[in-house]
Structure 1
Amino acid sequence: MSASARPIYLDYNATTPLDQRVLDSMMPWLTGNFGNAASRTHLYGWEAAEAVATARQQVARILGATEKEIVFTSGATESNNLALKGAFEALGASRKHIITVATEHKAVLDTCQHLEAFGAEVTYLLPDSDGLICPEQVQDALRPDTLLVSVMYANNEIGVIQPIIEIGSLCRKAGVLFHTDATQAVGKVPIDVQHAAIDLLSLSAHKLYGPKGVGALYVRKGISLTAQLDGGRHERGLRSGTLNVPGIVGLGVACALAQKELAKESTRLTELRNTLENNLINSLLNTQINGHRTQRLPQTTNISFGGLDGEELLMSLHRLAVSNGSACTSASVEPSFVLKALGLPDDLAHASIRFSLGRFTTSEDIDLAIGHILEVVSRIRNGA
Structure 2
Amino acid sequence: MSRVYLDWNATAPLRPEARAAMAEACDVIGNPSSVHAEGRAARMLLERSRDQIAEALGAAQADIVFTSGATEAAALALSGQGLACAGIEHDAVRAWADETLAADPSGQVSVPDPARSTLQLANSETGVIQTLPQGLAVSDLTQGFGKVPLAFDWLGVEVGFVSAHKLGGPRGVGALVLRSGVDRAAVLRGGGQESGRRAGTENLAGIAGFAAAAMAAQRDLAHGMAEKLTEMRDDLLMRLEDADGNTMFPGRESQRLPQTLSVLTPGWKGETQVMQMDLAGFAVSAGSACSSGKVRASGVLRAMGVAEADAGCALRVSFGATTTRQELDRFADAWLAARSRWQGKHGKAG
TM-based fold match above 0.5: yes
1:193/1:199 contact within 8 Å kept: no
1:303-314 matches, cutoff 5 A = 303-314=263-274
Secondary structure at the residue paired with 1:194?
Answer: helix
User: Which stretches in structure 2 are left out of the alignment for 5+ residues?
Assistant: none
Secondary structure at the residue paired with 1:258?
Answer: helix
> Structure 2 CA distance, aligned partners of 1:102 and 1:240?
31
User: Which residue in the other structure is 1:238 paired with?
Assistant: 197
User: Which residue in the other structure is 1:255 paired with?
Assistant: 214
What does the per-residue CA deviation read over 1:28-47, in whole Å, with 9 as the maximum and x for residues that have no partner? Answer: 222x32211111222x1111
What does the per-residue CA deviation read over 1:146-196, in whole Å, with 9 as the maximum and x for residues that have no partner? Answer: 9632101101111111111xx1x2x3xxxxx62101100000111122221
> Structure 1 CA distance, aligned partners of 2:332 and 2:244?
11
1:76-95 matches, cutoff 5 A = 76-85=70-79, 88=80
> Structure 2 CA distance, aligned partners of 1:280 and 1:24?
38
Matched, 1:110 2:105: no
Aligned residues: 343
CA shift, 1:100, in A, is 1.3
Q: Quick one: which of 323, 337, 340 aligns to 1:375? A: 337
Using the size of structure 1 for normalisation, the TM-score is: 0.85
Matched, 1:201 2:160: yes
- Structure holding more helix per residue: 1
Matched, 1:10 2:6: yes
Task: Specify whether residues 22 and 310 from structure 1 end up closer, same or farther in structure 2 by C-alpha distance, changes over 3 A only.
Answer: closer
Task: Specify whether residues 379 and 284 from structure 1 end up closer, same or farther in structure 2 by C-alpha distance, changes over 3 A only.
Answer: farther
CA shift, 1:293, in A, is 3.3
2:29/2:42 contact within 8 Å kept: yes
Using the size of structure 2 for normalisation, the TM-score is: 0.93
Q: Quick one: which of 26, 32, 35 aligns to 1:40? A: 35
Please, what is the CA RMSD of the aligned residues? 1.8
1:186/1:208 contact within 8 Å kept: yes
Task: Specify whether residues 208 and 310 from structure 1 end up closer, same or farther in structure 2 by C-alpha distance, changes over 3 A only.
Answer: closer
1:131/1:292 contact within 8 Å kept: no
User: Which stretches in structure 1 are left out of the alignment for 5+ residues?
Assistant: 113-121, 172-176
Task: Specify whether residues 315 and 179 from structure 1 end up closer, same or farther in structure 2 by C-alpha distance, changes over 3 A only.
Answer: same
What does the per-residue CA deviation read over 1:70-105, in whole Å, with 9 as the maximum and x for residues that have no partner? Answer: 1111110011000111xx3xxx6xxxx422111100
Letter in 1 for 2:296: E
Secondary structure at the residue paired with 2:317?
Answer: strand
Q: Quick one: which of 103, 112, 126 aligns to 1:158? A: 126
CA shift, 1:236, in A, is 0.6
Q: Quick one: which of 321, 328, 331 aligns to 1:366? A: 328
> Structure 1 CA distance, aligned partners of 2:342 and 2:154?
49
> Structure 1 CA distance, aligned partners of 2:332 and 2:296?
27
2:107/2:254 contact within 8 Å kept: no
